[in-house]
Structure 1
Amino acid sequence: MARKLNVTIVGGGISGLLAARVLREKHNVTVIERQAGNHEFSAAITLGPTAINIVESLGFDRKRGGTMAAEKVLVWNKNFGRISENITKKYTSKLNGEFTFSYRRDVWDEFLRLATSNEFPGSPANVLWGSTVGNVDVESGTVYLDDGRKIESDLVIAADGIRSSVRHLVLQQEESVHARPSGSSAFRFTVPGDVVREIHLKHGRTDDPMAPNMNLYMSMDGTQRTCVTYPCRSGQILSCAFVAPDKLIARETVESWAAEAEEGEIRRLFHDFDPLFLDLADRAVKPRCWRLRDQDPLHSYTRGCTMLIGDAAHAMTPHLGQGGTQAIEDAAAFDLFNDPAYDAYSVPEILQMIDRVRRQRATQIQTWTREFQGWKKRALEEKYTWYCWSYPGIKECLTRLDAGLEMIELKHFNETDAK
């Protein structure tokens, strides 16, 4: 925009902080965060090629973020029987990017640096820690805080997560638009690398448990219990997620949003998995049970001068590992507000352009994420990967849509070969 906008971002998580980094280059940015600081829990995050390329272009430092490039995705049964092996370079070598593993707290710290450090162009974002939004006038951009303060904004970005307080205001619907339980919950925790190696040696395993691979261990008995592990923080810790249907989990655990795992609960639920997994669970660092939630695709992400991004817009389960990547792509789309080519458009008009691209893409990925839970045929798995890891950016997508073309061109996917 030719004029400098006053931007208010509700939520200081991953999507909100990266949106602040994008917009600070030309505009005044205020981030409102109800927590007092880094509130990311002890878990990891995968970033696909599109996401890692975006964040590195904005100054993200992989070394500071402890980010590791994945080499393989391996699928096993619960007793270490190999089912499949997928070399990630099969995809990434053609996409000019990498599939990566990071510790969520490290990514958050880096994004805060990008948003608030003097190292980067523009004015650092102002973060109001420990502040809660009471209401938002989504048409005018006025944001009301619970402490009585009022912030006048030209652009409001709702990056306040899966339990967004702004979502129903944008959609003009009641609170029922919140994401619903998906039917499964994940016990998420980390284990120090030296402890993991000790456990592997105890069980006679000679492979390197901290190799840069994602490992999926499946029950293969119809119960849909799964264990997912991969290293992060430059190989210092192993991220673990033990996923089980809610019907198998104690109700007092899954009724809450997230709760500490009961002693011995993971061992009970996964008792028939190889004993190595049970030992990992016993050495878990503060295991918590997270109820996985799923959002039906929304009819719009924007109203007036307000836009939903990240989990506030398109919450999805982690089965395709796309939550973080889609949030980052959302944030990058606000670069339209920095481009002189869009100066003639109003804030609502530009938000409609962003909505046109981001909602179509995220909705497709939400739909496929649901399909992936059932492990559909191989052809679909291939197509999922090519689509999720292929994104030319907001401007190219708009150009393609205006020309009547497919927004995402799957150049490398051959459905015949994938069957």
Structure 2
Amino acid sequence: MSSTAAGYKFKVAICGGGISGLCLAVALNRRCPDIKVELYEATDRFKEIGAGIMIWSRTWKIMELMGLAPELSKIAHAPPDGSMGTGFDYRRSDQPQEGFRFHWVRMPYGCIRFHRAHFLDIFVDQLPPNVARFKMKLNSYSQSHRDGPIFLNFSDGTTSTCDILIGADGIKSTIRAQMFQEASERESRPELLDFIKPVYTGTTTYRGLIPIKSLNSLPPNHRAIADPMMYCGKSKHVVSYSIAKGDIVNVVTFASDITKEGTQYEDGDSQWVTECPQQELLDCYANWEPEVEQLLQRIEKPTRWAIHHLKPLPFYVDGRVALIGDAAHAMSPHQGAGAGMAIEDAFVLAHVLEHATASTLGSALEAWQKVRLPFGNHVLRGSYESGVMYEFNSDMGDNYDVLGPAIEKQWHWVSETTPEDEVARASEYYKELSG
């Protein structure tokens, strides 16, 4: 039965129930009742890895446009009100004596923070029934021709079809792997195979959560309670910020060997996240300023993470298959941009698809890619470069007079355009491509 005969324009299959996949499903169901949406999640429930999440003003604008801001305000570290706030407070901290601020980045709304699970739940609550399907791991997809229906093959032996397939399946995306494998063979371009696997950034991270009450006992109150902090040292830095309405401080530490960026992680794909003893964390940051040691001493059960990212992809779209979120531009977390970029991918794509027809789907995806590909790759590169700066490994070293403004310039993408600008540009491209 055709989509039209079934009562909808076309069918969108979304593989992956993380932030990007859920946001797209919610946006399409709100804006486009004449588009059928099915969301396939490989696990038995929606879940996110990690504790803290931050977004910036441009993403908050999307939340307002989607009508989600009132609910999100209830679970933020504090209700966002548009006033100027701290993006990050940068300190030199890798010495036993008290450190010092060398730069302070402020921006409208500041850094808006959430507990990751609470953030995801807002989208889950907005999802209509019968859209999500669990324990549906995609093994492969196939197309008889690039403008025809897409056939989906799942690990449990079931199959389905769709008119558009959206790969929201994360940094280890199955859909990205098949897309670039097929493009490599079709175009005789073996270099495309290099974009399939994530690469190690050279950075190891330790993560932990601290109940706010355990910091309130310190005289005076710890500055990490009030503002997002960036404690910087040579080849290392420590990030802290409050989440869960200010009840918890999320701490993420980084230790880097920039010579290993772009290499294969020595422990392979299966050991990116492991538990580790507290002493390992404390030893890594021994002789740092007292307030950093005070934080780390309160992380009883840290986890160790190997930070990976993607090489900037040459395309996100192949025929009627598209990649969004981490499947398209998984990045290091140094600008807190991953979630916001995933949401913006979904928001812009939903607007373009709203005006598409079954015969113009290819044009819609190409228009979306024309806007999102250069932006996604720009932020991916910039996020890694920012981490290098925080750890005094850039050409500027620790020349604070030059380094501070350079770090601040890295954030210009937050305000250079707006989500409405991105939608308008994609819509114009769609009109041009669809004739």
Range into which the TM-score falls when normalised by the shorter chain: 0.7 to 0.9
Change (3 A) 1:160 1:257: same
The one of 43, 62, 65 equivalent to 1:35 is: 43
* Counterpart for residue 399 of structure 2: none
Change (3 A) 1:344 1:395: farther
Whole-angstrom CA distance in 2 between matches of 1:11 and 1:402: 26
Whole-angstrom CA distance in 2 between matches of 1:125 and 1:329: 25
User: Are 2:76 and 1:66 equivalent residues in the alignment?
Assistant: yes
The one of 284, 289, 305 equivalent to 2:320 is: 305
Does 71-80 or 374-383 show the bigger shift? 374-383
Deviation at 1:255, TM superposition (A): 7.7
Change (3 A) 1:230 1:20: same
Whole-angstrom CA distance in 2 between matches of 1:251 and 1:402: 44
User: Are 2:211 and 1:196 equivalent residues in the alignment?
Assistant: no
Q: Secondary structure at the match of 1:186?
A: strand
Deviation at 1:281, TM superposition (A): 2.7
* Counterpart for residue 385 of structure 1: 411
* Counterpart for residue 185 of structure 1: 204
* Counterpart for residue 230 of structure 1: 241
Tell me, yes or no, if the aligned pair for 2:325 and 2:345 is still in contact at 8 Å. yes
* Counterpart for residue 101 of structure 1: 113
Whole-angstrom CA distance in 2 between matches of 1:81 and 1:125: 54
* Counterpart for residue 127 of structure 1: 132
Q: Secondary structure at the match of 2:201?
A: strand
User: Are 2:386 and 1:372 equivalent residues in the alignment?
Assistant: yes
Whole-angstrom CA distance in 2 between matches of 1:251 and 1:314: 22
* Counterpart for residue 413 of structure 1: none
Q: Secondary structure at the match of 1:319?
A: coil
* Counterpart for residue 188 of structure 2: none
User: Which residue identity lines up with residue 205 of structure 2 in the other structure?
Assistant: A
Counting only pairs closer than 5 Å after superposition, residues 142-161 of structure 1 correspond to structure 2 as: 142-161=151-170
Tell me, yes or no, if the aligned pair for 1:29 and 1:125 is still in contact at 8 Å. no
Q: Over residues 12-33 of structure 1, what are the superposed CA-to-partner deviations in whole Å (9 max), with x where a residue is unaligned?
A: 0011100101111322211111
In angstroms, what is the RMSD of aligned CA positions? Answer: 3.0
Deviation at 1:130, TM superposition (A): 2.2
Does 316-325 or 255-264 show the bigger shift? 255-264
Whole-angstrom CA distance in 1 between matches of 2:130 and 2:65: 18
* Counterpart for residue 22 of structure 2: 17
Tell me, yes or no, if the aligned pair for 1:15 and 1:309 is still in contact at 8 Å. yes
Deviation at 1:83, TM superposition (A): 2.2
Whole-angstrom CA distance in 2 between matches of 1:277 and 1:392: 36
Tell me, yes or no, if the aligned pair for 1:46 and 1:102 is still in contact at 8 Å. yes
Whole-angstrom CA distance in 1 between matches of 2:353 and 2:74: 27
Tell me, yes or no, if the aligned pair for 1:64 and 1:110 is still in contact at 8 Å. no
Does 278-287 or 345-354 show the bigger shift? 278-287
Whole-angstrom CA distance in 2 between matches of 1:346 and 1:22: 20
User: Are 2:310 and 1:318 equivalent residues in the alignment?
Assistant: no
Does 286-295 or 225-234 show the bigger shift? 286-295
Change (3 A) 1:247 1:232: same
User: Which residue identity lines up with residue 213 of structure 2 in the other structure?
Assistant: D
Unaligned runs of 5+ in 1: 117-123, 404-419
Q: Secondary structure at the match of 2:61?
A: helix
Whole-angstrom CA distance in 2 between matches of 1:297 and 1:339: 28
Counting only pairs closer than 5 Å after superposition, residues 257-406 of structure 1 correspond to structure 2 as: 257-284=272-299, 286-337=301-352, 339-340=354-355, 342-343=356-357, 346-375=360-389, 377-393=403-419, 394-398=422-426
Whole-angstrom CA distance in 2 between matches of 1:216 and 1:239: 12
User: Which residue identity lines up with residue 110 of structure 1 in the other structure?
Assistant: I
User: Which residue identity lines up with residue 15 of structure 1 in the other structure?
Assistant: S
Q: Secondary structure at the match of 1:374?
A: helix
User: Are 2:109 and 1:81 equivalent residues in the alignment?
Assistant: no
* Counterpart for residue 400 of structure 2: none
Q: Secondary structure at the match of 2:225?
A: coil
Tell me, yes or no, if the aligned pair for 2:348 and 2:426 is still in contact at 8 Å. no
Deviation at 1:253, TM superposition (A): 10
If the length of structure 1 is used for normalisation, what is the TM-score?
0.82
Identity percentage of aligned residues: 22
Does 363-372 or 155-164 show the bigger shift? 363-372
Deviation at 1:396, TM superposition (A): 2.3
* Counterpart for residue 6 of structure 1: 11
Give aligned pairs, total: 382
Whole-angstrom CA distance in 1 between matches of 2:221 and 2:384: 36
* Counterpart for residue 55 of structure 1: 63
Change (3 A) 1:374 1:400: farther
User: Which residue identity lines up with residue 230 of structure 1 in the other structure?
Assistant: Y
Q: Secondary structure at the match of 1:395?
A: helix
Tell me, yes or no, if the aligned pair for 1:254 and 1:290 is still in contact at 8 Å. no
Q: Over residues 282-325 of structure 1, what are the superposed CA-to-partner deviations in whole Å (9 max), with x where a residue is unaligned?
A: 43264211111121111110112111001100111111221111
Whole-angstrom CA distance in 2 between matches of 1:185 and 1:8: 35
Does 360-369 or 382-391 show the bigger shift? 382-391
Tell me, yes or no, if the aligned pair for 1:75 and 1:216 is still in contact at 8 Å. yes
The one of 170, 179, 186 equivalent to 1:170 is: 179
If the length of structure 2 is used for normalisation, what is the TM-score?
0.79
User: Which residue identity lines up with residue 179 of structure 1 in the other structure?
Assistant: P
* Counterpart for residue 45 of structure 1: 53
